[in-house]
Structure 1
């Protein structure tokens, strides 16, 4: 290659520019393409890769935004650029413009959290404090708006610079959202998915205002003081408790414990009786907690609920304990031969199990209503 060919090649390269950005970093959001005096030549090539947008500014004002693709900078193909100085002369002279490349990739796993506790007024627990933290994902949606409202003239704008602003925005909006939600405090930890979706909808307009799309928002944990957490657990258990089922369970438990008592039939009978009394007392205290509380506070003796009827009998059948049943029910069992005069029976107050024929008030089952013979004269 001769001397003049070399000069011609250099001049040719001087007037054909390639404007592109090869991003080798993971945290750069905006990069300004640096040129001498920001001059762009006629016929320059603009290369915008996938995951990028290019923004042209003239004298600090937005001129145009380019999506991914390869462009020849010519007023015939891009008439909007004729507003820039120099372009109206058909590129007879270079024009000046600032070119910013914007990274539009999705930025994931960004952290957020409440800097200080959020104070809520719960109708059952009063003023309570909660904290929350999680992650979010975002990307640049409107490159022109993002440049003019956030970046300004920063030549290399990074993720670190925007994250502090976004975390403050999220914390403020999250506090407002949970404050206006007015849901019971115990439901926050159990409904983080629904709360996350609500916060995403509330925060999205604020992100749109600066050209950012909030793609994902997750609440990983809602925490509260340990004493409040224990109080909520106890309240939730009591609130969901079925007192009738609890009474039945305690009664069955007392009967089972008494039946397994191997200390003798008398002990078994007494154990069953005490089991019924305790079950009734427990049911009464839980059904009317005001009375139980007043008794404990004043130290006075509150009359217990009535015990089972004295005429309620247990009976043995096929080596198993059955009952309790009333006398009328026991009489029907006798009539259909489920029990007989030798069947062992027991009720509260009896020292031991006795055959039915030996219990005075049950002798009527045996035809005891027949009067004895008249005395002889």
Structure 2
């Protein structure tokens, strides 16, 4: 009696439920009369006999195996529990929720581009979503040989294909290698469709794929930032002057021998020339404004003597009264 009591199960349930587990198989035990099946929220229970699906139960709750389960099984409807006899079946519990997984390229993906003969090294990261959608295929391809299956197993399968798919969809339609984020939606859409085809053969579907960011090597990113700065400033010569001024002020342009000294000298001369131009422009209106008064007080001789009114012909003294005129 002890032997049979150890072999028979009173409760059929997912004993150690894990959020990161896609399915778990209850197996190698017999169900006795009076046993109960417990299905928790977010779970489906699939009864298997000799590797074939007997019935799928999707409603959460507690069920009596003899009265509520056996009558609905396809080939075991006539099964009768006898004395100390049980029914040996397998029950596959499936996690029905949608899983969200973070992904990231392990190594840079070399994207072909005319600007760089060796390819543009790019890293990317984001998330993808998937869920089980075909129980028959899942059992045939995975659950038939495994007792459990983790999200990590699917992640490994997905990330092994991402490098090639990123290369395919980034290179497509001549996308701008230096502004991939602008095309992130189209790239992600194409990758999702391809990945979905790859996981259909294990009974799953990709419900979403998202590219959060594309990352360039530091040298490439610095170049992109510098190019953007040029566009923002608009005047390349002015940008170079600003860059040199900032370098001298910060102490980054120092040492370096004759080249650095010459750069500093040229920058100093340019600054001096600009200062002189500004001074000349400021002084010119003032000089022009003072020209009239200076000319009026320059010593010109009057046409008439201020003392006696006699007309003057340009002499220094009045010919009538001797008044000094100049």
**TM-score normalised by the shorter chain: which range applies?**
0.5 to 0.7
Shift of residue 168, structure 1, vs aligned partner? 1.6
Describe the SS at the equivalent of 1:82.
Answer: coil
Match of 1:344 in 2: 288
Higher RCO structure (Cα 8 Å, ≥6 apart)? 2
- Structure 1 regions of 5+ residues with no counterpart? 1-6, 251-256, 273-313, 320-342, 346-352, 359-377
1:167 aligns with 2:159: yes
How many positions carry a matched residue from both structures? Answer: 258
Q: How does 1:84-233 map to 2 (within 5 A)?
A: 87=76, 89-91=78-80, 94-108=86-100, 110-126=101-117, 127-180=119-172, 182-192=174-184, 195-233=187-225
Shift of residue 186, structure 1, vs aligned partner? 1.1
1:23 aligns with 2:34: no
Q: How does 1:57-72 map to 2 (within 5 A)?
A: 57-69=48-60, 70-72=62-64
Match of 1:366 in 2: none
1:268 aligns with 2:257: no
**Retained in 2: the 8 A contact 1:53–1:143?**
no
User: What RMSD in Å do the two structures reach over aligned CA positions?
Assistant: 4.6
Deviations 1:67-92 (A, max 9, x none): 13344446997776233xxx253436
Deviations 1:288-307 (A, max 9, x none): xxxxxxxxxxxxxxxxxxxx
Residues 144 and 152 (structure 1), Cα distance of their counterparts in 2 relative to 1, 3 Å cut: same
- Structure 2 regions of 5+ residues with no counterpart? 243-270, 296-326
After TM superposition, the structure 1 stretch with the greater mean CA deviation from structure 2, 52-61 or 133-142, is 133-142
Match of 1:49 in 2: 40
Whole-Å separation in 1 of the counterparts to 2:278 and 2:122:
54
Describe the SS at the equivalent of 2:41.
Answer: coil
Query: TM-score, normalised to structure 1's length?
Result: 0.52
Deviations 1:125-177 (A, max 9, x none): 55322122233343334344333322333223333333322322344433332
Residues 201 and 213 (structure 1), Cα distance of their counterparts in 2 relative to 1, 3 Å cut: same
After TM superposition, the structure 1 stretch with the greater mean CA deviation from structure 2, 235-244 or 150-159, is 235-244
Shift of residue 356, structure 1, vs aligned partner? 12
Query: TM-score, normalised to structure 2's length?
Result: 0.59
